[in-house]
Structure formats: structure tokens, C-alpha cells
Amino acid sequence: MRRFQTAMMWGQIVTKDLLGGPISAAKLNQTTASAVTACDAADGVTDGIIDDPRTCHFSATANICGAPTAPATNCLTPLEARAIDMIWDGPRNQDGQRIWFGLDPGTNLTAVNGTPPFFLGVTQFHWDEHDLNFDWHTVSIDKYPQVAQDGSRNIADVTDTFGDLDVFRRHGGKLLTFVGGNDQARRSSSAPLMPRTDLGRCSTVQAALNAMSSRSSAVLARGGRW
């Protein structure tokens, strides 16, 4: 919970630093549509859905105004394209190491990158810093990793709401996990890591989640430095 809610603010900080404010909804929606068009057929079916976002390597630079691939309307400036590519890539620290996952191409960029910012992201920054008056506008791209680190130190992960699932397993219970591709908060690549606190008590479930993580193209090193 803490990690992905902190990451909800990444796009806001990127656009603030690079552009002075959010990119228009029309441009964000057009770039998403362009990504879907470019990557939709990779699974062999053209249905308006990117089946596996990890295989989509579309760059927003294709939509820069004047480029041969740019759309007729709602094209991007070079800085807008850079900002969207950074949102898709996800937050990194000063060493270039990814500290959380980016938004999947094809998801709704406007939900957490529009005006105003998503309120839970703003609240999460207050929790991370233990300061109800903390102003997220004071956070730059370079300072974002420290806020994420502060969240680790101050509140850790706060979604520990379930009991021992081994009993559930012994009674024949079966648990399915699913992350929809249009959920702009829960990045699909983060799905194997999200429930580790709640489900980690069950060794069988944790082994399955670990196997999922090993197949992900963007798995973070657990316990690593922000």
C-alpha cells in the first residue's frame, strides 16, 4: 500500500519539474491510444488491449509534433514526451535503480497524473514524512527517492490485514490474484510483490508469488536501497 501510493505522485512530480504542471488530458489520452495501437496486435489479436504490457516498447517520442508518427491532433512537445516516458518507466533513484514500477502502457494516465493530483498520493506523502502540512510541491525528481525511503522507515508497509492462510490452504481453499490492465494504481508488474505481507505467512502461496516475480521483467530487489 505505502509503496504504490507513494508512486502515485511520481508523474505529478515529473510533470511539475519538467513542464511546470500536468499534461492535458487530451494529450495523455492520445498517447495512451497511440501505445495501444502500436502494441495491441503483439498477442495475435487486435482487440484494443495490450495483453502483456511488458512486451510494449512504445515511446511517447513517437507522438512529438512534426514526427512522421505523430498524431494529427494532441501531439507532444519533446519535454511532454520525456515526461510520459518517465511515468511509464517509473521512479528511479540517483543511481538509476528503479524503486517502484511505472504505469503500464495502455492504462489511464489521467487518473493519477491530471489536475488535481490523486488525493491518496498526497495523503501518503503526509504519512511518509509524518507531517500533515508537508507540501508535495517541494519534492523534486531528485528528492522523490528520499520521500520513498522515509516512508519505509516511518511506516513500512501497512496492509497487514489477514490472518494465517495456512489454515485456509489446509481446508482446500484456493486463492486467485488478479490485477486488471486498466488499474492505473496497481501496476501489473508489481502484482507479485503487493500481497507479500498478507499472503507471506502461507509458504505455498509465497512460493507461487516468488515464481511469478522471477518471471517479471521489472522485479525489484527486496530489501534493496531506495
Beta strands in 84-199 (DSSP E): none
Q: How many CB atoms lie within 10 A of CB 138?
A: 9
Report the candidate in 50, 38, 62 with the shortest Cα–Cα distance to residue 182: 50
Residue 203: what pLDDT? Answer: 54
Sequence-distant (6+) residues with CB within 8 A of 35 are 50, 56, 58, 105, 106
Counting Cβ atoms within 10 Å, is residue 214 exposed (0-12), middle (13-18) or buried (19+)? exposed
- Cα dist. 110→148, 162, 175, 176, 205 in Å? 22, 32, 32, 29, 34
pLDDT tens by residue, the chain, 226 residues: 677 789 999 999 999 999 999 999 999 999 999 999 999 999 899 999 888 888 999 999 999 999 999 999 999 999 999 999 999 999 999 899 999 989 989 888 998 999 999 899 999 999 999 999 999 999 999 999 999 999 888 876 555 455 667 777 788 887 776 665 555 555 666 555 554 444 444 555 555 555 544 444 333 333 334 4
Residue 225: what pLDDT? Answer: 41
* Distance, CA of 203 to CA of 166 (rounded, Å): 8
* Distance, CA of 189 to CA of 30 (rounded, Å): 23
At position 115, the amino acid (one-letter code) is: T
Residue 20: what pLDDT? Answer: 97
Residue 123: what pLDDT? Answer: 94
Residue 214: what pLDDT? Answer: 44
Rg (CA), the chain: 19
* Distance, CA of 64 to CA of 68 (rounded, Å): 9
pTM: 0.77
* Distance, CA of 151 to CA of 14 (rounded, Å): 19
The alpha carbon of 214 is separated from its chain's Cα centroid by a whole number of angstroms, namely 18
Report the candidate in 82, 86, 27, 34 with the shortest Cα–Cα distance to residue 58: 34
Residue 81: what pLDDT? Answer: 98
Q: How many CB atoms lie within 10 A of CB 53?
A: 22
Report the candidate in 90, 94, 103, 58 with the shortest Cα–Cα distance to residue 220: 90
* Distance, CA of 16 to CA of 168 (rounded, Å): 47
Gap between the terminal Cα atoms of the chain: 16
Q: Cell 502461507: give the residue.
A: 202
